[in-house]
Amino acid sequence: MKLSIIPKESGRAKASALFFVKQSIQFSDVLSEAGEKQVESALKSMKDGIFSDLEFLEIDGKATFFVDAAKERGLSGLDHLRMAGYRLAKVAAQKQIPVVSLMLADAATEQFKAIAHGLAYADYKFDAYKSKKKESFQVTFEIVAGTQVAAFKKIAADVAVEQKAVTLAKNLVNTPAADMTPADFVDRAKTIAKFTQGLSIKVRDMKQLQKEGFMGHVTVGKGSSRPPFMVTISYDGTKFASATAMRSAAAVKREARTSADHLVIVGKGLCFDTGGLCLKPPKSMPEMISDMTGAATALAAIQAIATLKLPLKVSAVLCLAENAIGNTSVLPGDIFTAKNGKTVMVDNTDAEGRLVLSDGLAEAGLIGATHIIDIATLTGAMVRALGYAVTGFFANDDDLALNTINAGEACCEKFWSMPLEEEYADALKDKFADLKNTGSDAGAISAALFLQEFVPENTAWAHWDIAGTAFVTKKWKYTEYGATGFGVQTLIEMARRLSATVDKDYAESEYKQV
């Protein structure tokens, strides 16, 4: 898929597309009087069931797609546009139409961004292991933007960066575990750090983890022949603030603000999770390639944040291990001392993600985090509570919680705030150790309460449990099967908003600053 953003039609398009909601055509004031009558008749026919979404009709002498921008239930207006763009791109490629014109001169910037994301999602495929690969037909979407050409080009550039990050996360997750071991993941992280301006990387292997007391990784990973690693990737966007921000009073305030904030993204990276000695059921095993989605999401997000040169200090801590069965595997009842000095009894070896995350949270504190977001496919309880469409999250800071919800809405990713209910905290106490890694029947809450024990003092923290939204086995929105890339765009958007905290109008006006 290619985007060509122009002020008026070029005459190259072989077809055009009109987005409609019920009986109303969106974004187009360019139809002739006869064309408007044709559209009115077509929409009535669709209402009567004669035609369907993506019907191919002739309007004003031109072949025209009618795209329903309110087809699915439960989606926001922006996500309807994403889905409309996604379906349009799929059909245009199937029909092998080389150039499709979209009349978007009257669209708001966030509406164009939603459509651009939808068009881009249609390009994704994971065929690295197919013996015969199908060549995708390349469609150019000609965006008729009127006076908004410059703003739309800036948006298109940002969408390209964000979609590259989503693709990276999806590819990492969809790769079989035999080819995406902790060491393989480290190699990918090193390559990204090397070729992305502004990124630096620190890798701790098993020996260093033991020496420095990051025993969560050691405890989980010692049973596997593929040893664990903890990777810290750092980006200091304050160095780019002068070059990227407009030299206004608000921009100067923004630079001062970003010098104090440090967002650290901690990602669970279980490259495969057998459950350890508390073995998982066979039917759930194949999906465990996705148990490193948190680390994949964190890596993808920081690559995009650095590429966009957002004026904020950001780090990503990737907690990489394999939970396998071996003669050195952690045993139920074993006790270890975590990095922050608390002792932990391993009650269930399949509750391993929170153990490696305890190290990641400690590392976030050591490198000076002011804001921490940990992201993990952590509990089946969250899947049972909220399913595949909504991520449940916990936060100890109201501003960070609100930022999560608002940034998610802007990126068409749904978040639901869950309670850090202290009444369940006593269930984490152990007779011999300070804590055990399982608690009450409220599994997702207990996991979050456990993690809270390792959050550095005076630090804003949010825990995203993406167990339901990270990976799907049936079609969901723009994912046919496998990794969804959920969370990548919201993390990028949160970094944007954190870097713009002082200037509240910045997030809404950024695309006009070209």
Judge contact between 186 and 202, C-beta under 8 A: no
Judge contact between 430 and 491, C-beta under 8 A: no
The residues, ordered by sequence, that sit 6+ positions from 51 with a Cβ below 8 Å of its Cβ are: 42, 45, 57, 66
Please give, one letter per residue, the 3-state secondary structure of 428-471: HCCCCCCEECCCCCCHHHHHHHHHHCCCCCCCEEEEEECCCCCE
CA dist 122 to 63, 84, 409, 411, Å? 21, 11, 21, 17
Rounded to the nearest integer, the mean pLDDT of the chain is 92
- Distance, in Å, from the CA atom of 278 to the CA atom of 284, rounded to the nearest integer, reads 13
Residue 291 has pLDDT above 60, yes or no: yes
Mean pLDDT of 320-327: 97
Residue that has been written with the tokens 């002082």 in this structure: 502
| Per-residue pLDDT band at 505 (split at 50, 70, 90) | very low
Q: What is the pLDDT, as a whole number, of residue 501? A: 55
Q: What is the pLDDT, as a whole number, of residue 257? A: 42
Taking the alpha carbons at both ends of the chain, their separation in whole angstroms is 24
Residue that has been written with the tokens 């099967």 in this structure: 481
| Per-residue pLDDT band at 241 (split at 50, 70, 90) | low
Map residue 353 onto helix, strand or coil.
helix
Residue 30 has pLDDT above 70, yes or no: no
Q: What is the pLDDT, as a whole number, of residue 57? A: 84
Is 354 a known active-site residue? Answer: yes
What is the amino acid identity at position 219? T
Residue 245 has pLDDT above 60, yes or no: no
Q: What is the pLDDT, as a whole number, of residue 14? A: 93
Q: DSSP E strands: which ranges in 237-324? A: 262-273, 313-323
Residue 69: both structure tokens together: 């921008």
* Residue in 354, 414, 436, 477 annotated catalytic: 354
Residue 352: both structure tokens together: 């391993």
Which pLDDT tens digit goes with each residue over 359-403?
Answer: 999 999 999 999 999 999 999 999 999 999 999 999 999 999 999
* Residue in 71, 280, 309, 342 annotated catalytic: 280
Residue 248 has pLDDT above 50, yes or no: no
Query: CA-based angle 333:335:337, to the nearest 5?
Result: 165
Strand partners, 234: 200, 315
Mean pLDDT of 283-301: 97
Judge contact between 364 and 463, C-beta under 8 A: no
* Residue 410 half-sphere exposure toward CB, CA atoms < 13 A: 20
- Distance, in Å, from the CA atom of 79 to the CA atom of 115, rounded to the nearest integer, reads 9
Is 497 a known active-site residue? Answer: no
DSSP string, 35-50: HHHHHHHHHHHHHTTS
Residues above pLDDT 90, as percent of the chain: 83
What is the amino acid identity at position 73? R
